[in-house]
Amino acid sequence: MAKIISLISPLLIFVRNNFVNIMIGIALAAFVLGVFYFTTLSIKKLKMEVLPYYPFDRFSPGSKKWSVLYFLILIIFLAGLAFFLAKF
């Protein structure tokens, strides 16, 4: 019995000293696994039909200005991000 206790005591000391780090690791692993589970669940629900074109009309308004405006906003955002990263 004394040998078993002498073998387990370094493990208990390690767990006692690193308890917070172990809990953070377990919580992070649970979060990553949860995100993976919900992502795969949503991917399985996607339709698998193949279309000859991408149906933009399902998601976009009737005008074509939104795509140009979106592109310009994206370019401005990326330029601003590059500027701030280079500045700081």
Ordered per-residue pLDDT tens for the chain, 88 residues: 788 888 888 889 999 999 999 999 999 999 999 999 999 888 888 776 766 666 555 555 556 666 778 888 999 999 999 999 998 7
How many domains does the structure of the chain reveal? 1
Identify whether 53 is part of a domain: no
Identify whether 27 is part of a domain: yes
DSSP 3-state of 88: coil
Domain limits for position 67: 2-45+61-87
Residues 6+ apart with CB under 8 A from 15: 22
Identify whether 55 is part of a domain: no
Identify whether 66 is part of a domain: yes
Identify whether 51 is part of a domain: no
